[in-house]
Structure 1
Amino acid sequence: MLSTKKIFLPLTLLILTLILAACGQSINTNNAAPSAAAATESPTASPVATGDAATTRLYTDYKKREVEIPTDPQHIVYVGSNPGDLLALGIKPAGASLSVIGTQVAYPDLLEGIEDIGYPFSAEKILALSPDLIIFDDWDETGIEALSKIAPTVVVGLDGTFPTEERVRQLADLFGRTEAADRWFNDYQAKVASVKKQLNLTEGDTATSLLVLGSELYIMGGKGLNETLYGQLGFKPAEGVQKLVDAGERFVTISDEVLPQYIGKHMFILTDTSSKTAARQSALMDSGLWKAIPAVKEGRVYTFDSKYNFDDPITLDRLLDEIVEIFGSKGKE
């Protein structure tokens, strides 16, 4: 059976961020971001004069709200599931929504020093950080008004509304980091080209991403891991997956019986280490249905940690390294 129903909190955010889907309180400028389609309509900003120098400026955000923000924010709080977007630009927020994703992302080493504001966010925790700017990219729009009473709040999207590059370039525009974004994207594209050459991938081979999470199986559409497989490495969706992509489906839940309808020449499995997930994966792989799939019989199945199903720049970059390692280990078997 097939289902496209929405999944809701508290487990919702974990599943959706895995399915949709990278110290201190100041900004540093050491890092920079990767790929997709650039924004077609960027939010705008204009300075607001205060004496001899402009200390604030007006910014028109994603919701067409005109917000007066500091020209040089020092205490930033991020509400959303893609803190890697900021980190890729060298911006480390003072606080972020880490309660669900903090242990699920591919860059835990970069989260040190960032305070968890909870999910749903705790107004008290945010107030304690004395933010001068709040970045909002969450599905629950009711939080915008409450946050705006704490500090200037800029809406940059609603839970991963935009493709990766569009999100990152919007933030780069907001923080004056366009050069950092350019470097990130240029470096990423060069790395993609190097990986494709190194792995000698066959352009146009079909591939499928299967997420095993708890007791459920999910086929990914055009998001998550598939942004790299289809958008960068030249794989094509299997026929069943292509229908999902054409319909704009990010993912669907499926039963074992219909799994073969979605499998391409290559199969990429995303999983975690929970006992429930392990039991579900074991039951699937012990089945005759699984063992009859050509990709399984011919050794074209690759297993990844579900943390690589996020689509922030940090994850996309580290995913390339993981793909090289996994394909390399396959070649040694």
Structure 2
Amino acid sequence: MPSLKKIVLPLTLLLFTLILASCGQPDNSSTPTPSAAATSQATVAPEASPAAVKEAAATRKYTDYKKREVEIPATPKKIVYVGSNPGDLLALGIKPAGASLSVIGTQVAYPDLLEGIEDIGYPFSAEKILAVSPDLIIFDDWDETGIEALSKIAPTVVVGLDGTFPTEERVRQIADLLGRTAAADQWFKDYQAKVDAVKKQLNLKEGETATSLLVLGQDLYIMGNKGLNETLFGRLGFKPAEGVQKVITADERFVTISDEVLPQYVGTHLFLLTDTGSKTVARQNALMDSGLWKAIPAVKEGRVYTLDSKYNFDDPITLDRLLDEIAGIFKGKQ
């Protein structure tokens, strides 16, 4: 069966990559924790003059994900974020002055929170970033060549390379960078309480399995170990359907499939991720009109739940709003 790995794509295909793969790389137990990967210290020299001491005290040194020691503002005022998860900052109560919104701005689950953030383009525009006049740039993108160019504009800290870390580790690293560890602690405490409440509401029985099917344009994808399944399997207690478990065991984030093999992947519950694009709608309608689709037990028994593909991202804001969506779906089924 052919599979799709994360691929470097031009702008016209970026949305495809973001929806499928922006949710992070497989976990790596050898990856340093944020506390080990990022340290800071004052930059004041003992012999400095009072004016120099005051100026130096306003900065500190930070060792980032790429092991680069960067002198950054102790309290940054204008942050530009280059990456696909601006929700990481928003969850910590930080609204960046600029961010890469050209593609994801209309695709995320929290467009209401993006108001007032300057779009710096994707790929980023140096001119647009210069116009923002940032004093700190946070970089979490796949194109490492951008780091050098950004560093000439403002201190640039690399927190990952587009999904290097799972959500909590990624957010806690940013919290450590920006002095928001208490905010991160509170967010994840509240999130876990919400997970527990939704899980209690679902009241799943032993052996109930789930499958996430993404319809994107003309193609069908079974999600593996990332995206929506991180919530279904990692938080809410669903078990992977047998076919999905094989994808996870192979350490695949997703695989592309044909209609004919779809029944091999569908479990007790089927979560259908889709969007309103004309090609996606046509593909979805054709699939749902087919005899093959109508013969699937989860379909016949009314256990298919449609979600917008924007819920396949893994930033904290999306994860929180996804719980609301799932709770609403199952409340209507009870």
**TM-fit CA distance, 1:13:** 2.3
The equivalent position to 1:51 in structure 2, one of 50, 53, 74, is 53
Q: Deviations over 1:184-208 (max 9, x none)?
A: 0000000011111122223542111
Classify 1:157/1:5 alpha carbon distance in 2 versus 1 (closer, same or farther; 3 Å).
closer
Counterpart Cα distance in 1 of 2:207 and 2:40: 42
Please tell me the residue identity of whatever aligns with 2:217. Answer: G
Judge which range, 165-174 or 46-55, deviates more. 46-55
The equivalent position to 2:82 in structure 1, one of 75, 79, 83, is 79
Aligned residue number for residue 37 of structure 2? 42
The number of aligned residues is 317
Gaps of 5+ in 2: 24-28, 45-51
Aligned residue number for residue 264 of structure 1? 267
Please tell me the residue identity of whatever aligns with 1:197. Answer: K
**TM-fit CA distance, 1:258:** 1.4
TM-score (norm 2): 0.91
Q: Deviations over 1:214-242 (max 9, x none)?
A: 11111111111111001100011111211
Classify 1:236/1:149 alpha carbon distance in 2 versus 1 (closer, same or farther; 3 Å).
same
Aligned residue number for residue 304 of structure 2? 301
Aligned residue number for residue 14 of structure 2? 13
The equivalent position to 1:60 in structure 2, one of 59, 63, 69, is 63
For the residue of structure 2 that corresponds to 1:102, the secondary structure is helix
TM-score (norm 1): 0.91
Tell me, yes or no, if the aligned pair for 2:22 and 2:162 is still in contact at 8 Å. Answer: no
Please tell me the residue identity of whatever aligns with 2:17. Answer: L
Q: Hey, which of these two has a bigger chunk of helix by percent? A: 2
Counterpart Cα distance in 2 of 1:70 and 1:288: 61
Q: Is the aligned partner of 1:3 residue 2:3? A: yes
Counterpart Cα distance in 1 of 2:333 and 2:11: 37
Counterpart Cα distance in 2 of 1:54 and 1:216: 54
Classify 1:181/1:257 alpha carbon distance in 2 versus 1 (closer, same or farther; 3 Å).
same
For the residue of structure 2 that corresponds to 1:322, the secondary structure is helix
The equivalent position to 2:96 in structure 1, one of 93, 97, 111, is 93
The equivalent position to 2:225 in structure 1, one of 222, 227, 235, is 222
**TM-fit CA distance, 1:20:** 3.0
**TM-fit CA distance, 1:5:** 4.9
Please tell me the residue identity of whatever aligns with 2:94. Answer: I
**TM-fit CA distance, 1:6:** 4.5
Counterpart Cα distance in 2 of 1:74 and 1:324: 38
**TM-fit CA distance, 1:15:** 1.7
Tell me, yes or no, if the aligned pair for 1:203 and 1:234 is still in contact at 8 Å. Answer: no
Counterpart Cα distance in 2 of 1:90 and 1:204: 39
Aligned residue number for residue 250 of structure 1? 253
Please tell me the residue identity of whatever aligns with 1:118. Answer: G
**TM-fit CA distance, 1:321:** 0.5
Q: Is the aligned partner of 1:113 residue 2:116? A: yes
User: Which structure ranks higher in relative contact order (CA pairs < 8 Å, sequence separation ≥ 6)?
Assistant: 1
Tell me, yes or no, if the aligned pair for 2:62 and 2:70 is still in contact at 8 Å. Answer: yes
The percent identity for this pair of structures is: 79
Q: Deviations over 1:51-96 (max 9, x none)?
A: 1461111101001111110000001000000000000000100000
Q: Is the aligned partner of 1:285 residue 2:299? A: no
Aligned residue number for residue 191 of structure 1? 194
Tell me, yes or no, if the aligned pair for 1:21 and 1:312 is still in contact at 8 Å. Answer: no
Tell me, yes or no, if the aligned pair for 1:75 and 1:132 is still in contact at 8 Å. Answer: yes
Judge which range, 88-97 or 197-206, deviates more. 197-206
Gaps of 5+ in 1: 23-36
For the residue of structure 1 that corresponds to 2:105, the secondary structure is coil
Tell me, yes or no, if the aligned pair for 2:11 and 2:123 is still in contact at 8 Å. Answer: no
For the residue of structure 1 that corresponds to 2:58, the secondary structure is strand
Tell me, yes or no, if the aligned pair for 2:3 and 2:254 is still in contact at 8 Å. Answer: no
Give the root-mean-square deviation of aligned CA atoms.
Answer: 1.7
**TM-fit CA distance, 1:16:** 2.1
Tell me, yes or no, if the aligned pair for 1:98 and 1:118 is still in contact at 8 Å. Answer: yes
Q: Is the aligned partner of 1:168 residue 2:162? A: no
The equivalent position to 2:155 in structure 1, one of 152, 157, 176, is 152
Aligned residue number for residue 26 of structure 2? none
For the residue of structure 2 that corresponds to 1:162, the secondary structure is coil
Counterpart Cα distance in 1 of 2:295 and 2:280: 22
